[in-house]
Amino acid sequence: MLGRVNHIAIAVPDLVAATATYRDTLGARVSQAQALPEHGVTVVFVELANTKVELLEPLGDASPIAAFLAKNPAGGMHHVCYEVEDILAARDRLKGAGARVLGDGEPKTGAHGKPVLFLHPKDFNGTLVELEQV
């Protein structure tokens, strides 16, 4: 069911500073910042040869990233995103196996313009999992 790792997301308190660290210190190619109001975040993607790193900053006080950063003020790994061929089939299979899909269970449009779902971290060894249809 799982394809490749699409990205690893890191929540950061200062997106401009984090972007500069990846671009200027590590020499990485980075995208422009993109606001995603439906998800309550602003994101920048660090482009790597084999995957991406997504830097997340809260977009507003109601952002789920704001709560994460309140517990982890310096930031940290937020989630891992895996690619799937058919997100609805993956959702149904996971729900059938007892996994919890966050939100209303319906895919939302993610940063790449593709359907995404999030899975409860308690069902996946303490890691928030995002699925993205390719």
Active site residues: 130
Tokens of 131: 């699925």
